[in-house]
Amino acid sequence: MHHIEIEGRPVRITLTDAARTALDQRSAPLIAEMELYFSCLIRKQVRFREQAQGTADVVVDDHLSVRFRPVMTRTCGNDYEGDEPPLTEFPIANSRPYVPHWLQLDFKHGHWQGEFGYDAAR
């Protein structure tokens, strides 16, 4: 288990044995992006990236970095092409209350899987 801080909030990171093994075999860090999607609904999704995209990455160790990214769409509905509407950064003045409390990562059948969430007691 690892602990990091994002926006001054502690985030607990748990890796399965398979995830730890897969990370240890990497030559470059994996970026796990916790995406909180605001639109007509709220969706939580962990996206995995191969390269850093900004300064918001928090280094966990030599093999893993984490970031929190709130995003939104400009409109609701199905009037867009493709699987998802285009996303834009969600300008939250104080994103600290939205930063997740925990992140769990696994590596199954050759693919990264992740989940993040919030503790009720906090």
List pLDDT tens digits, range 65-117: 999 988 877 666 555 555 666 666 666 778 788 899 999 999 999 999 999 99
pLDDT at 90: 65
Residue 94 lies in a domain: no
Residue 12 lies in a domain: yes
Cα angle for residues 50, 54, 59 (degrees, 5° grid): 65
Residue 80 lies in a domain: no
Domain count, the chain: 1
Query: CA 46 → CA 40, 66, 80, 114, distances in Å?
Result: 19, 10, 23, 5
Residue 37 lies in a domain: yes
Residue 40 lies in a domain: yes
Residue 122 lies in a domain: no
Residue 58 lies in a domain: yes
Each residue's pLDDT tens digit, 23-45: 999 998 999 999 888 777 778 88
pLDDT at 95: 79
| 56: containing domain | 2-74+99-117
Both tokens of 9, joined, read 């909030």
Interatomic CA distance for residues 55 and 62, integer angstroms = 16
Residue bearing tokens 């990497």: 26
Query: CA 18 → CA 39, 46, 94, distances in Å?
Result: 34, 17, 35
pLDDT at 22: 97
Q: What is the pTM of this model?
A: 0.79
Residue 60 lies in a domain: yes
Pairing of strands 111-117, 88-89: unpaired
